[in-house]
Each structure stands twice: as structure tokens, then as C-alpha cells.
Amino acid sequence: MATVYDFTVKDMKGNDVSLSEYKGKVLLIVNTATGCGFTPHYDPLEAMYKDLKDKGLEILDFPCNQFANQAPGNEEEIHNFCTMKFGTEFPQFAKIDVNGENADPLFAFLATEKPFTGFGKGLKNAALKKFSDMNNKAFGDKAYIKWNFTKFLVDREGNVIARFEPTEEMDKVRKEVEASL
């Protein structure tokens, strides 16, 4: 059975990084964007990282520009924005596609392991669904991720155990991360 440890990704400089380097850690893998309404998620993500990294948490940040062009910069510009505005210290990787023919295999795997089940109820969630559906029409059955700041929780054995849409309250995400540690 495949785990996230079977995948290799690119760091910000284009070097290969085997996710097997994170064996034994709890991972929160996130696709991000610097110009999104959910960009403030960087604050609770960084707070969680600072509080829990010594207990075995790693947050892996993958910038993506496939959602309304909300991450237009290159890796260095995105990294500088995140570190200067939010003080992020968790690992940031190369900008990737998470949907379509060029989707990074890691994200195709994550989304296959924990498929999209909805944004939840409420007006804000309904509006995001409508916008997401329009944006992702071009990707058809390869629209794995519905929007920026989708988060996948991975246990210490490399198994995907939860998916959190960007509309999920960050307090709930943190509680599930803490329970996994």
C-alpha cells in the first residue's frame, strides 16, 4: 500500500526531496497562495508549527497558482512574503500544480486517499463552491483540490488520515493534529 513516503517533491531551489525524510513525523501538507482570502491561515499554521514541531509535527507548504492566479510570484518572492508577513519557518517547497494533467503526483495521491466531500454549510461556503466549480471546470476529473489552503493530515506511518478544506476552522484542524501526535 502506498504512503506519502513513496513520493519525491522539489524544494524551492528545484532539488529533489524524498518525503521518506519525514518518516516518524506527523505531517500537515498544504497547498497555499499569497493573495487568497485564506492567506491569513499562515498565522495559525505557524503558531501550530512553533508549538508542536518538537512533538513531531512538520507542516509542508506547496504554493500553487491554479486558483484565480492568487500565487503569481516565483518561489523566492512567495517565500519572502511568507517569512516577512507571517514569520513562517515551516518547510516551503517549489510552486506546483495540484490539478489537471500536470498535477503533482503527491497531491493526486492525497486527494485520492481523502476525496473532497464539500465545503460545509453556510453562505460563504456556498459562494466558494460556486467559484471553485467555475475555476476547476477546466480540470474535469483531475480537479483534485478545490481551493487554496486545503490541508491533508498524515500520520507517523505516512497514511493520509484527514482532509480539511480551507473553510474548516483552524481550531478544529489543530485539535486533530494534536490528537495525531
Residues 6 or more apart whose CB falls under 8 angstroms from that of 144 comprise 98, 99, 103, 107, 108, 110, 111, 112, 116
**Parallel/antiparallel/unpaired status of strands 26-32 and 57-63:** parallel
Q: What is the largest CA-CA distance in the chain?
A: 42
Number of alpha helices (DSSP H) and beta strands (DSSP E) in the chain: 5, 6
Residues tagged active-site: 36
